[in-house]
Amino acid sequence: MRPSLLCNRVVRISACGSVLVLAASVSVVAASPPAEAIVQDVSLDNYIHYHQDLLYTYMGDNRGFGAEHNLARDNIFDELSAQPNLVVELDPFNYNSNTYHNVVATLTGTDVPEDIYVVGAHFDSVNNPGADDNATGTAIVMEVARVLCRYRSPATIKFCAFDREEQGLRGSRAFVADHVGQNIVMAVTADMVGHDSGPYGMDIFGSSLSSGVISGVVDAIDAYGDGLATFLAGSATFSDHWAFESQGIPAVVAIERCFQCNPYDHTQNDAVDNPNFPDGDYLDYTMPTNLARAFVGLLVDEIGITLWHDANNDADIDMADFAELQRCYGFPATDECGAFDLNHDNTIDIDDYDSFLDALTGPTR
């Protein structure tokens, strides 16, 4: 079968050749590190859409034991399920004789799938709208997932919306228990990250076990967080990162600076339409979107996430990659040839060729 496919390919390449050469001759886009390009995919508008339209964050809403708890959970599941390349589960656990569910979306690694990175936040609240605590963190998980699922990740990333954090980290502890013996490399989490009590920044909590992740998050916020400050806040047991750290897994939680200064936490006024903010500025959405950019940049740098089709990893889909595609065509998706195997069938074939042309001639990503 392969010769005829190859023949077909040659015809197609020659038909497109003049267009491709022209594109190459006028392309003066400088190569940049992948993280700098990928971080730009984080969208403030899309973040606000998640936070305000899908997570029930207005006065009267209740994601604790109220009607909006399951509605929000199902919206998270549906939105993640609508994204490409993610396998999404409602992951059950038992608490107080009832079954609850974490929403877990998995982007399977292409090279070392056994290495697992976790991006997490709890979506439950204390019988209130929980706009800051913790729809702000949940929307980060959703936005980081939406961005990264479109790229090639050598390692596996699990995007987790945990349930029942407020009753003692129940969902995250269940998740960790389910993964005993597996290689969770690190977990980065966010909890209350949208109310600016000043200064504009994040407390980064984690124990000495997590010093590498802490410095990684701090560096990523410095590089990609657009002015968000960081403060080393020491060890803490009161958020989902602790479910990981207590089992020996490096993990951190980012929380808005001086979260105790937010008097509306765990009250009915922790709402987008908090009546004490008639101008609608209870939340500063640039804080969580900048943190989302930092999480994206951290994972791209740590894992070595790249653009599909970018075989030479110069953050540009160009003629150099086309030359690699020609070399790889018809062969297994090993080493740099794996950059073209967007349909995950472990062979570089006509489908991958077509998607390469889309990437080369269409939108950058």
- The residues binding Zn ion (CB under 5 A) are 133-134, 191
Q: Kind and range of the H or E element at 177?
A: helix 170-178
Q: What are phi and psi of 231, to 5 degrees?
A: -135, 125
- State in angstroms the smallest separation of the CB of 191 from Zn ion: 4
From CA 209, how far away is CA 251, in angstroms rounded?
Answer: 8
C-beta closer to Zn ion: residue 79 or 133? 133
- State in angstroms the smallest separation of the CB of 88 from Zn ion: 23
Q: Are 125 and 62 in contact (CB under 8 A)?
A: yes
From CA 43, how far away is CA 282, in angstroms rounded?
Answer: 20
C-beta closer to Zn ion: residue 64 or 201? 64
Q: What are phi and psi of 364, to 5 degrees?
A: -55, -40
- State in angstroms the smallest separation of the CB of 94 from Zn ion: 21
- State in angstroms the smallest separation of the CB of 50 from Zn ion: 17
C-beta closer to Zn ion: residue 124 or 341? 124
C-beta closer to Zn ion: residue 133 or 349? 133
C-beta closer to Zn ion: residue 130 or 297? 130
Q: Which tokens hold the place of 166?
A: 């407020």
From CA 136, how far away is CA 131, in angstroms rounded?
Answer: 6
C-beta closer to Zn ion: residue 156 or 239? 239
From CA 163, how far away is CA 152, in angstroms rounded?
Answer: 29
- State in angstroms the smallest separation of the CB of 130 from Zn ion: 8
From CA 149, how far away is CA 206, in angstroms rounded?
Answer: 27
Q: Are 282 and 51 in contact (CB under 8 A)?
A: no
Neighbours of 60 (CB within 10 A): 13
- State in angstroms the smallest separation of the CB of 80 from Zn ion: 20
Contacting residues for 12 by C-beta, under 8 A, at least 6 apart: 353
